[in-house]
Amino acid sequence: MTQLSIDGTFLVPGDGGYETARQPFQRKLDPHPAVIVEAAGTLDVVAAVRYANDRELPITVQNSGHGAAAPSDDGLLLKTARMTSVDIDTRRQTARVGAGTTWGDVIAAAAPHGLAPLSGTSSAVGVVGYTVGGGTGFLSRKYGYAADNVISAEIVTADGELVTASPSEHPDLFWAIRGGGGSFGIVTSLEFRLFSVDDVYAGMVMFDPARTGDAFRAYREWALEEPDESNSALAVMTMPPVDMVPEPIRGKRVLMLRAFYFGDAGNGHALYAPLLEAGGEPIFGGLRATSFADAAAMLGGAPPPMAAELHLELMHEVPDAAIDAVADVPFGVELRHWGGAIARPAPDAGPAGHRDVPFSIVLSAMAPDLAGLEPQLPALRGAAAELRQHGTGGTFHNFLGDPARMAAAYTPEDYARLQEIKRTYDSDNRFAGNLAVG
């Protein structure tokens, strides 16, 4: 039987550090793995997989645990957070990163060269998990999903072998990891495109939430003409009563415009003027010309770990009945426009997303722990059931919290292909601890 000799850390229940290491960012879960491996490099990952195979342990892989969807009970929890590296190739405009790298790491490394990644709205999220789940962010309406811009990946397969996935090597595996999630192997290194980005016009503006219904109606019409250079959303939420939130909005419920425009301030100001008018008199915030790195920090900070439940509904249209169902709920609601380059994939694109659906409404309840979250769940789930009758029935991998809905993130044809690839690379479902293809 394989013994585990690694440069990282090996923990079992009772060891110092086990209680901290077992907890993901998503505090709705309370996992108790049999073994935790904090990998220091690719060889540690290989060793951990072979160790788990010998003992028939399911494997859960986490960097930060933002996307944790199922507890890693009685299995091997592989933590990659120590595997951080960023190599920028300015000539090719690419980055190669290690499995534990966050978007903040990439943004900081790329910014001095005038380059930016297809990062999401939080710089604290891990690059790999975000990307293999599709990855939609500030530049996605201009350049597509993060998954669409992957060049190659190094992957440890379920039998403990290190392979390269690219258009010419293991092309089926390469297709699967560009949106199909992490249940085909453990990505230890990822190479992807960067983009030249000059100053942008971006920010958040907060308004009286009494205008939510009218503002959502204005947004659904405005979005029909939104240019690809823009990424936007309207949301209503209660700001947490913590010191990091500015006093004028601390603990208060607000309607919020989140806007990012890849272009000059004059055009950006004119573009968002109808939405600013719909929101009424601003309470806090504003839009300004800035750098990509500053916009990323401004639009997506790094909140502390929390318990959260999300429900995403994809919609071809946003009827009044859907808006009425969510305008006055006590939890978070976001109306977002997708489309642009997302809806125009290359012929060889991976399985990410229901690309033809232009709108989503996301419901979100959050609390510091599960005890604080649970009282909010009946209302959220009731609103989700009402909203569901207006949606397509589909969802998006990065927003998926229920492993039982995995198939709903893909077209039937793509999911059938993902199932074939899963059987080829992980027939025993060793990578069962995350959102796994069934």
What pLDDT is recorded for position 258?
97
Interhelix angle 265-279/212-222, nearest 10 degrees: 140
Domain 200-404 class in CATH: alpha beta
The domains spanning 9-79 and 200-404 adopt the same CATH topology: no
Helix (H, G, I), strand (E, B) or coil at 279: helix
What pLDDT is recorded for position 434?
79
**Amino acid identity, position 127:** V
- The secondary element (H helix, E strand) that includes residue 298 is helix 292-299
Q: HEC states along 161-184?
A: CEEEECCCCCHHHHHHHCCCCCCC
What ranges do the domains of the chain cover?
Answer: 9-79, 86-196+411-425, 200-404
Residue-level pLDDT, tens digit, the chain, 438 residues: 556 889 999 999 999 999 999 999 888 889 999 999 999 999 999 999 999 999 999 999 998 777 777 778 899 999 999 999 999 999 999 999 999 999 999 999 999 999 999 999 888 899 999 999 999 999 999 999 999 999 999 999 999 999 999 999 999 999 999 999 999 999 999 999 999 998 899 999 999 999 999 999 999 999 999 999 999 999 999 987 777 788 888 889 999 999 999 999 999 999 999 999 999 999 999 999 999 999 999 887 677 888 999 999 999 999 999 999 999 999 999 999 999 999 999 999 999 989 999 999 999 999 999 999 999 999 999 999 999 999 999 999 999 988 889 999 999 999 999 999 999 999 999 998 778 898
For 391, list phi and psi in degrees, rounded to 5: -100, 180
What pLDDT is recorded for position 3?
63
Number of Cβ within a 10 Å radius of residue 410: 24
Helix (H, G, I), strand (E, B) or coil at 250: coil
CB 141 within 8 A of CB 228: yes
What pLDDT is recorded for position 72?
83
Domain 86-196+411-425 class in CATH: alpha beta
What pLDDT is recorded for position 2?
58
pTM of the prediction? 0.94
The reply to whether CATH 3.40.50.720 applies to domain 9-79 is no
